[in-house]
Structure 1
Amino acid sequence: MAGKTEKPKSGPGAIGKLYLIAYNLILVIGWSYVLCLLTRSYLTDDFKGQTLWDTVRNSLFIFQNAAVLEIFHAIFGLVRSNPVITTFQVLSRVMVVCGVLLATPPTAAASSIGLPIALFAWSVTEIIRYGYYFANLISFVPHFIVWLRYTTFIILYPIGVTGELLCFYAAQNYASANPSLWSYTLPNSWNFTFSYNYFLIFVMLLYIPLFPQMYLHMFAQRKKILGTPASLKTQKIDHSTKAKM
């Protein structure tokens, strides 16, 4: 009986690979810059007289929205990520930046304690994540980068979600006090109504079912890549035994 012929794994061509290398490297640099701005904003007087939002707004807008390209990377097969999961991950942050921070006055969500919390978690996470992708593309992946990629999320992901929800909460408080903000009320020729305030509440409630799913998915990925502590211990024993033989 003839064996089954395995289909070759799809992936980016030479041009696609060069593009992904440049894309990931640029975003490592970009998020490093955002983290630098965040740090300098609190530890130095370099931006005296400016709020944190004034300092990071343009850079955050550019580098966070650049992640939208990842959805297309997944759809067109440049990477092997799940397009649906990628879309949820990307749009949640884009919503925070464009639909919350930029959509409300600087004295609302952008003044929330959630902003520095989210910025810290996002920037560290993205530096590691894009650095990991870059290392894979050039076929040089030190184990510590793999470990960071599949371990730091355990702390950083809940921190980031906390920051995001605090920004949402601040924006929702402002929208509640200003119900006409980004809202469309009846009666109108379209016979359609939209409440920005209730939309924010709806999105916040979505975190309840979605956060555990995404978090557990990342743990599953961690187990797949790093294995369980017991399996890692077994591997070390096996390697040491072979070395003695």
Structure 2
Amino acid sequence: MAASALSVVLKRVYLAVYNWTVFTGWSLALYLALKTLKETGYGHVYKSVEKPLQLAQSAAVLEEQILHSLVGLVRSPITATLPQILGRLYITWGILWSFPGQTQTHILVSTLVFSWSITEVVRYSFFGTKEALGFAPSWLLWLRYSTFFLLHPIGVTSEIGLIYIALPDIKESEKYSIKMPNKWNFSFYFFYAAIFTIGIFSIGSFFMFQHLCRQRNKALSKPKIV
């Protein structure tokens, strides 16, 4: 029993530290974006948030629905947010970092950063509070399951828009493409994959929104702790 209780405590401490650490990263990204937008304009937002954005988004590899669910730290199913996390990693590294030409200085970077960072600041503070205290206040619960009504459409629109803006650079550079002939007898064109991804994001956003609505109905129907 003692070993089991210690295991539970260690699990909660680890998850609390993890959630508050990632919360700090997203809070920094939000602060830097707001500060830069006010002082120098949207064209400089990406450069100001690049490192914290990359670190915070890449930390999703340890996300509770991926590694944590695989090793049994949480009960969340791995299929719940895996597409969203992979999509964000694609935007972070496959678009913004790989094709900086027209994307990094576009105003859509600002809307993207705001939608992502506000969503994650709320989400990680919610989970961090639950792990630290054993519960989350009702107002934080409401924020956790309500902000997506505005932030999800803004985020998806920004993601699709940035892919579209990057298309000319993707086509011209032929980066990440594999042409025939080669020893694998295989070809891959990142340009067409990007167009396909726009379609996937467009369709997937509808189903993700429905999933978020179901989550909200389930979460807010439970008794709340003030």
User: What's 2:55 paired with?
Assistant: 62
Matches within 5 A, 1:46-195: 51-70=44-63, 71-104=66-99, 106-138=100-132, 139-176=134-171, 178-195=172-189
Output the amino acid matched with 2:59. Answer: A
The TM-score normalised by the length of structure 1 is: 0.82
User: CA–CA distance in 1 between the matches of 2:190 and 2:57?
Assistant: 22
Displacement after TM superposition at 1:137 (Å): 0.8
Larger Rg: 1
Displacement after TM superposition at 1:167 (Å): 1.1
User: What's 2:36 paired with?
Assistant: 41
RMSD, matched Cα: 2.0
The TM-score normalised by the length of structure 2 is: 0.88
SS of 1:41 mapped into structure 2: helix
Asked whether the equivalents of residues 112 and 166 of structure 1 are also in contact (C-alpha less than 8 Å), the reply is no
Asked whether the equivalents of residues 160 and 202 of structure 2 are also in contact (C-alpha less than 8 Å), the reply is no
Unaligned runs of 5+ in 2: 1-6
User: What's 1:226 paired with?
Assistant: 220
Number of residue equivalences: 214
Fraction of identical pairs, as percent: 34
User: What's 2:25 paired with?
Assistant: 30
User: What's 2:15 paired with?
Assistant: 20
Displacement after TM superposition at 1:188 (Å): 1.5
Runs of 4+, deviation exceeding 6 Å? none
Normalized per residue, the structure richer in helix is: 2
User: What's 1:243 paired with?
Assistant: none
